[in-house]
């Protein structure tokens, strides 16, 4: 009888540990190993890449329960960097982001759907210039590991295309050929590495 009780207690303990492991844990975005980038067409013949250097965010993650995954991030508009000071100043101006009036961009997820163990989509609300619009981004789960210092880490890549006009970023000029100096379509390229909170 004692053996059965001990065996039952052991099984119960294992189930409790497994259940706890499946609960979503909070991760803080590690800015030194993450990047929030974008790309636009210029004059319809070339591509310009940029990124935001200052941002903060977190996500909740459990490997086997994507329905519990959530994410939030806040970006400092003034930190925009396209490797050209004059262009960056223009992007901060009212022609584009109007950084003085709207100093932050934010994203808050509303759902995650995985098609397999590593690929899926994330939906959420993207707020720029005081306007919030729904977006859907392709999501790739890159893996979860324990680093040499005992920190649990998880990595993701996200990508998608938005129309800047939807958020009031409407400045442009039309070329003689009919194309735009700056494309309305903006490709988002985001790499995130998070550290589990202790």
Is position 96 within any domain? yes
Is position 70 within any domain? yes
pLDDT (tens place) for every residue of the chain, 198 residues total: 444 444 444 333 333 333 344 457 999 999 999 999 999 876 556 689 999 999 999 999 988 888 899 999 999 999 999 999 998 998 999 988 999 999 999 999 999 999 998 999 999 999 999 999 999 999 999 999 999 999 999 999 999 999 989 998 876 644 344 444 578 889 999 999 999 988
Is position 10 within any domain? no
Domains of the chain: total: 1
C-alpha angle 141/159/130, rounded to 5°?
Answer: 120
Is position 9 within any domain? no
- The C-alpha atoms of residue 50 and residue 81 are separated, in whole angstroms, by 6
Is position 37 within any domain? yes
Residue 93: how many CA atoms within 13 Å on its side-chain side? Answer: 9
Is position 8 within any domain? no
Is position 142 within any domain? yes
> Which domain CATH number covers 28?
2.40.128.110
SS (H, E, C) 56-122: EEEEEECCCCHHHCEEEEEEEHHHEECCCHHHHHHHHCCCCCCCCCCCEEEEEEEEEEECCCCEEEE
Is position 14 within any domain? no
Q: Is the pTM above the cut of 0.85?
A: no
| CA 147 distance to own-chain centroid | 22
Domain that holds residue 89: 24-196
């Amino acid at each position: 009888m004692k053996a059965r009780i001990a065996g039952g207690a052991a099984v119960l303990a294992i189930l409790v540990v497994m259940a706890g492991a499946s609960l979503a844990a909070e991760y803080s975005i590690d800015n030194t190993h993450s990047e929030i980038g974008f790309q636009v067409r210029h004059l319809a013949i070339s591509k310009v890449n940029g990124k935001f250097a200052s941002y903060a965010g977190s996500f909740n993650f459990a490997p086997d329960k994507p329905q519990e995954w959530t994410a939030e991030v806040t970006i400092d508009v003034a930190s925009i960097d396209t490797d050209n000071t004059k262009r960056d100043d223009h992007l901060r101006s009212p022609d584009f982001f109007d950084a003085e009036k709207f100093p932050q961009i934010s994203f808050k997820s509303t759902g995650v759907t995985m098609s397999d163990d590593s690929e899926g989509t994330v939906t959420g609300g993207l707020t720029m210039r005081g306007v919030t619009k729904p977006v859907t981004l392709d999501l790739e789960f890159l893996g979860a590991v324990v680093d040499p210092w005992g920190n649990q880490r998880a990595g993701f890549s996200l990508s998608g295309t938005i129309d800047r006009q939807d958020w009031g970023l409407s400045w442009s000029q039309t070329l003689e050929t009919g194309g735009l100096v700056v494309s309305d379509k903006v490709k988002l390229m985001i790499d995130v590495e998070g550290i589990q909170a202790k």
